[in-house]
Copies of this chain bind each other. A is one copy, B any other.
Amino acid sequence: MASADQKPQQKAGIDGAGARMRLRVPSVAERVAEELRYQLAEGFLVPGAKLTEATIAEDLGVSRNTVREAFAELATERLLVRHPNRGVYVATLEAGDIHDVYTVRRAIEVSSIRAGGSPERIAAVRAAVEEGKRAAAANDNEGLGSANQHFHGAIVALAESGRLNTIMAQVLAEMRLYFHKATMNAHFYSDWLKENEQICSALESGDLERAGDLLLAYLNRSEQQQTTIHGQ
């Protein structure tokens, strides 16, 4: 945790060792941000759409100022863009942005997998692979997509770095803005199902070099696919 000179909180009776009673009720602004994030990921709000403060404030039954705070948060996450004095809009990814996003992913994913990770973290990667297989067997496209995101999230989690994790989470959130419907034809997934398996087993066998190379190759190909689909 960031700083926190938390004084050793006395654990009375019931509370297990080190287990902190995290009952934190998220603030209203945070919940508004969360709701918007949800609607963005779900495709309710399409890229380019305009969000007017007053409308959303009324819709969610909160103050305009609070909406403003939420907007600020989502803007720094690049999910929304602010046009000063003109309003906030749902972010749209141009061709350049796709390359940009993949540049970030190459940097942090490859670096994370090359450094290996604890058995538990590796097990988490394996779990994501299996999750993907199950989704494929069930013909669950939705589930396939999120399984893939879990897979790549688990790879970054190998590094045990809170900062890398939040960066990755933001990047994935950005990508969810596009992946929505459209662009969702199945023979995409058929590829990386096998590929994730390969990467994972390379990781499990300790061949980090190979795992990194495979992952890098995948990311390069994925970027190319995305650009041919989206940008021109």
Contacts and interface: CB of A to CB of B under 8 A. Distances in A.
Nearest to A106: B111
B103 A159 contact: yes
A81 B2 contact: yes
B103 A161 contact: yes
Interface residues of A, number: 43
Nearest to A108: B107
Interface in A1-54: 2-5, 24, 27, 29, 47-48
A164 B3 CA distance: 19
A92 interface: yes
A69 interface: yes
Interface in A78-136: 78, 81, 84, 89, 91-94, 97, 99-101, 103-104, 106-108, 110-112
Contacts of A171: 163
A162 interface: yes
A89 to B, nearest CB: 7
Nearest to A165: B100
Contact of A3 (B4, B29, B81): B81
A73 interface: yes
A3 B94 contact: yes
A65 interface: yes
Given A103-B159, A162-B100, A76 B78 contact: no
Interface of A: 2-5, 24, 27, 29, 47-48, 65, 68-69, 72-73, 76-78, 81, 84, 89, 91-94, 97, 99-101, 103-104, 106-108, 110-112, 159, 161-164, 167, 171
18 contacts: A2-B78, A2-B92, A3-B91, A5-B48, A29-B72, A68-B69, A73-B76, A76-B77, A99-B161, A100-B162, A100-B164, A101-B163, A103-B159, A103-B164, A107-B107, A107-B111, A107-B164, A110-B111
